[in-house]
Amino acid sequence: MYTVRKVTDDLYYVGGDDRRLALFENIFPIPEGVSYNSYLLMDEKTVLVDAVDWAITREYMLNVDRVLDGRDLDYLIVNHMEPDHCSSIELMLQKYPNLKIISSEKAILFMRQFGYHVDDRYIEVKEGDTMSFGKHTLAFVEAPMVHWPEVLMTYDTTNGVLFSADAFGSFIANNGRLFADEVDWDRDYLDEARRYYTNIVGKYGTFVQKALEKAGGLDIKYICPLHGLVWRDDFGYILDKYTHWATYEPEEDGVLIVYASMYGNTEFAAQALAAKLCEAGITNISLRDVSNTHVSVLIAEAFKYSNIVLASVTYNLGVYPLMQNFIEDMKALNVQNRAVSIIDNGSWAPQAGEKMEKYLDEEMKLMDVLPEQLNMVSSLKAMKEPDMDAIVEGIQDSIKKRKEEKEKSKSQNKSKK
Ligand code: FEO
Q: What is the CATH number of the domain that holds 338?
A: 3.40.50.360
Helix (H, G, I), strand (E, B) or coil at 8: strand
pLDDT tens digits along 105-127: 999 999 999 999 899 999 999 99
CATH number at residue 174: 3.60.15.10
Q: Which residue has a Cα nearest atom 3 of ligand 1? A: 82
Could you tell me if the CB of 80 is within 6 A of ligand 1?
Answer: yes
From 56, 41, 120, 53, select the one nearest 89 (Cα to Cα): 53
Residues 172 and 268 in one domain: no
- Cβ 273 vs Cβ 394: under 8 Å: no
Q: What is the pLDDT of residue 413?
A: 78
Whether residue 231 sits in one domain with residue 273: no
* CA-166 nearest atom, ligand 1: 1
35's enclosing H/E stretch is strand 34-36
pTM: 0.96
Counting as low any pLDDT under 70, the low residues of the chain are 1, 417
Whether residue 146 has its Cβ less than 6 Å from ligand 1: no
Please tell me the distance between residue 105's alpha carbon and the centre of ligand 1 in angstroms: 18
Tell me, using a 6 A CB cutoff, whether residue 374 lines ligand 1. Answer: no
Q: CA 329, CA 42: separation in Å to the nearest integer? A: 43
Q: Are 92 and 54 in contact (CB under 8 A)?
A: no
**295 and 192 both lie in a single domain:** no
Q: For residue 172, how far is its CA from the centre of ligand 1 (angstroms)?
A: 14
For residue 118, the CA-to-ligand 1 centroid distance in Å is: 23
What's the CA-to-centroid distance between 22 and ligand 1, angstroms? 16
Is residue 326 located within the same domain as residue 260?
A: yes
Handedness of CA 175, 179, 181, 182 (dihedral sign): negative
CB count within 10 Å of CB 82 equals 20
Looking at 223, 247, 271, which one is the last position of a domain?
247
Domain boundary among 181, 216, 247: 247
Residue 166 Cβ < 6 Å to ligand 1: yes
Q: Do 214 and 349 belong together in one domain?
A: no
Does a structural domain hold residue 409? no
Q: Does 84 fall in a domain?
A: yes
Domain end point (choices 232, 247, 262):
247
The reply to whether 58 and 128 lie within a common domain is yes
The β-bridge relationship of strands 122-124 and 100-103 is parallel
* Residue 415, in any domain of the structure: no
Kindly give the number of the ligand 1 atom that is closest to the alpha carbon of 226. Answer: 1
In a domain, 55, yes or no: yes
**What is the per-residue pLDDT for 417?**
65
Question: Is the Cβ atom of 79 under 6 angstroms away from ligand 1?
Answer: no
Same domain? 68 vs 152: yes
Q: Using the 8-state DSSP alphabet, how is residue 176 labeled?
A: T
- Residue from 331, 382, 374, 328 nearest 353 by CA: 374
Does 416 map to a domain? no
Assess whether 214 and 352 both reside in one domain.
Answer: no
Q: Which amino acid is at 390?
A: A
238 with 337, same domain: the answer is no
Phi–psi pair at 259, nearest 5 degrees: -120, 150
Separation of alpha carbons 199 and 297, rounded Å: 9
Identify the domain containing residue 89 by its residue range.
Answer: 5-247
Q: What is the pLDDT of residue 1?
A: 56
Residue 414 included in any domain: no
Residue 382 in domain: yes
Same domain assignment for residues 158 and 173: yes
Separation of CA 148 and ligand 1 centre (Å): 8
pLDDT score at 354 = 97
> 85 C-alpha to center of ligand 1: Å?
7
Q: Are 46 and 96 in contact (CB under 8 A)?
A: no
Distance CA(36)–CA(17), nearest Å, equals 6
Instruction: Report whether residue 227 contacts ligand 1, using a CB cutoff of 6 Å.
Output: yes
CA of 133 to the centre of ligand 1 (A): 26
Torsion on CA atoms 137, 140, 141, 142, rounded to nearest 10: 180
- Whether residues 280 and 396 fall in one domain: yes
Whether ligand 1 lies within 6 angstroms of the CB of 84 is answered as yes
| One domain, residues 284 and 383 | yes
- Domain-located, residue 17: yes
Percent helix, strand and coil across the chain, each rounded to 5? 40, 25, 35
What is the domain count for the chain?
2
What is the C-alpha to C-alpha distance for residues 31 and 54, in angstroms, rounded to an integer?
A: 19
Judge contact between 218 and 162, C-beta under 8 A.
Answer: yes
Interatomic CA distance for residues 60 and 296, integer angstroms: 29
